[in-house]
């Protein structure tokens, strides 16, 4: 059965997200090969690399926004929301990492979305600090960077080491809350 335009486009987006998260310099040919389509199909959907990167960015932003909205509807507190955000973001690690490694796209709309997402995470961290879940003396910007780094590390562990997304998300939250010091049960 021939592949529809929509499924070819989705296959391209999925393959490109995964490939470019691992190798931001991957060529258009490598993207087409990873998606199992010809170069002509890739160029038909995305005439330029910038078109592809922009669409991938918007897809990643939508996916992370949707996951964040679900989390906020379920969370009982800001600290609980951080745990749920980790659980939601680790499976989206390829999209998250793609966005984190996107220096070449100069797009005001995408940069605005990314600033908004960082501001939302900063507000959540500040709320967790106010409720006593996180150290209030740490700058929120530092905590945002640490959290983002932990999500990236978790995704790599899922990808490279074969641990489950659930275990990796638990490690993100535990490390965010307690650093690398031994847990109380180990002392």
pLDDT score recorded for residue 26: 87
The per-residue pLDDT of the chain, averaged, comes to 87
Tens-place pLDDT, residues 62-74: 999 999 999 999 9
pLDDT score recorded for residue 5: 58
Question: What is the average pLDDT across 44-49?
Answer: 90
pLDDT: which is higher, 53 or 120: 120
Superfamily (CATH H level) for 57-181: Tetracycline Repressor, domain 2 (1.10.357.10)
Q: Please state the domain extents for the chain.
A: 1-47, 57-181
Q: What percent of the chain has pLDDT over 90?
A: 45
For residue 139 the two structure tokens come to 């700058």
pLDDT score recorded for residue 49: 85
pLDDT band with cut points at 50, 70 and 90 for residue 2:
very low
Give the integer Cα–Cα distance in Å for 173 and 92: 16
Q: Among candidates 102, 70, 96, 114, which has minimal Cα distance to 155?
A: 96
pLDDT band with cut points at 50, 70 and 90 for residue 181:
confident
How many angstroms separate the first and last alpha carbons of the chain? Answer: 60
pLDDT score recorded for residue 169: 95
Give the contacts of 22 (CB within 8 A, at least 6 positions apart): 159
Tens-place pLDDT, residues 155-164: 889 988 889 9
Does the 1-47 domain belong in CATH 3.10.450?
no
Least confident among 9-18, 162-171, 175-184:
175-184
Least confident among 26-35, 95-104, 114-123:
95-104
Tens-place pLDDT, residues 14-41: 888 888 877 888 888 898 888 888 889 8
Cα 180 to chain centroid distance, Å, stands at 23
| Whether the predicted pLDDT of 183 surpasses 90 | no
């Amino acid at each position: 059965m021939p592949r529809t335009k929509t499924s070819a486009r989705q296959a391209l987006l999925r393959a490109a997200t995964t490939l470019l998260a691992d190798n931001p310099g991957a060529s258009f040919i490598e993207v087409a090969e990873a998606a199992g389509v010809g170069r002509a199909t890739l160029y038909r959907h995305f005439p330029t690399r910038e078109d592809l990167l922009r669409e991938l960015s918007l897809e990643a932003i939508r996916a992370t926004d949707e996951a964040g909205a679900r989390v906020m509807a379920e969370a009982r507190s800001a600290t609980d929301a951080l745990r749920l955000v980790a659980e939601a973001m680790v499976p989206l690690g390829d999209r998250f990492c793609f966005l984190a490694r996107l220096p070449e796209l100069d797009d005001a709309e995408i940069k605005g979305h990314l600033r908004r997402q960082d501001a939302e995470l900063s507000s959540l961290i500040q709320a967790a600090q106010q409720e006593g879940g996180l150290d209030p003396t740490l700058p929120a910007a530092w905590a945002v960077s640490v959290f983002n780094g932990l999500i990236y590390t978790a995704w790599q562990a899922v990808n490279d080491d074969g641990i489950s997304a659930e275990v990796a998300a638990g490690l993100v939250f535990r490390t965010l809350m307690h650093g690398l010091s031994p847990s109380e049960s180990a002392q």
